[in-house]
Amino acid sequence: MTNQSQMPSVKPQGPGPAPDPQPQRPPVGPSVTFDIQRLNVWFAAHQVLEDISMQVPPRAVTAIIGPSGCGKSTFLRSLNRMHDLVPIARVEGRITLFGEDLYAPQIDPTVVRRRVGMVFQKSNPFPTMSIADNVTVGLKLNGVRQKAVLRERLERTLRMAALWDEVKDRLHANALSLSGGQQQRLCIARALAIEPEVLLMDEPASALDPLATAKIEELIRELKKQFTIVIVTHNMQQASRVSDLTAFFYLGKLIEFGNTNKLFTNPANKQTEDYVTGRFG
């Protein structure tokens, strides 16, 4: 069992180049957030992901697209070891975060989840807690008790989530009093409060109206200045609007990965072209 002090974080110094989707990839360094090598995932006897290899650069948005059931969410959950919570799940391969093997035996998965935050498809504020308590609950669970620290982190992360001005006068109101879009931004603030290095988003706007979706997308563009973001989306227009890189998954395999504009306008693979042009999926 390790703790966070035993897991040194190597912060990237700035945006890196787009990853090379070919087998000959550059060495892992500060220009790579996640290096995924031959990732395979099973649930019992059913294989969901097969030999996924790709590199995710820092301070950029990487979108994962593909039809339902192709393994998008399974891939996302592999990046912060959420499958450890599923008894029938088995993960093979190697995933490094800034060069550190996240699945090494000595690595504590709870520490991984602090470093790699997650926002889910359906907003899930804690229903019995206030707006303020929803944001700071993770800090309190990690032993932070100083009121000044909690207040500072509360305001800072609500501002980062573009929610502070809307809730600053009702921080002690129940979180469920917020609209759906506000609840999702509250969940983003909660994920940011523990100061992760990476933010994973699993279809964060799929249940929202167009106005709330636009706010989430604007927020994603702002947050990528500070964080590596990996987003799963079923909405190809959303992927084209917010992402720098896009990975197309089909039947558990990575079909194509590269610059978003190129993948949508001049894909290298016929399957990718058929999917992005709406011929299937």
Q: What is the pTM of this model?
A: 0.86
For the chain, give percent helix, strand, coil, nearest 5.
35, 25, 40
Contacts of 243 (CB under 8 A, 6+ apart): 61, 62, 63, 231, 260
Residues 223-281 have pLDDT tens digits of 999 999 999 999 999 999 999 999 999 999 999 999 999 999 999 999 999 999 988 76
Instruction: Show the domains of the chain with their CATH numbers.
Output: 29-276 (3.40.50.300)
Residue 4 confidence (pLDDT) above 70: no
Name the residue among 181, 126, 140, 135 with its Cα closest to residue 157.
135
DSSP 217-269: HHHHHHHTTTSEEEEE-S-HHHHHHH-SEEEEEETTEEEEEEEHHHHHHS-SS
State mean pLDDT over 183-200. Answer: 95
Residues 81-123 have pLDDT tens digits of 999 999 999 999 999 999 999 999 999 999 999 999 999 988 9
What end-to-end distance do the CA atoms of the chain give, in Å? 43
Name the residue among 219, 218, 248 with its Cα closest to residue 232.
248
pLDDT of residue 31: 82
Q: CA-to-CA distance for 192 and 18, rounded, in angstroms? A: 25
Q: CA-to-CA distance for 165 and 182, rounded, in angstroms? A: 11
Residue 28: band (very low, low, confident or very high) from pLDDT cuts 50, 70, 90: very low
Q: CA-to-CA distance for 252 and 41, rounded, in angstroms? A: 9
Report which secondary-structure segment, H or E, holds 96: strand 89-97
Q: CA-to-CA distance for 202 and 122, rounded, in angstroms? A: 9
pLDDT of residue 281: 67
Residue 21 confidence (pLDDT) above 50: no
DSSP conformation class of 48: E
Q: Do 224 and 61 touch, CB atoms closer than 8 A? A: yes
pLDDT of residue 19: 43
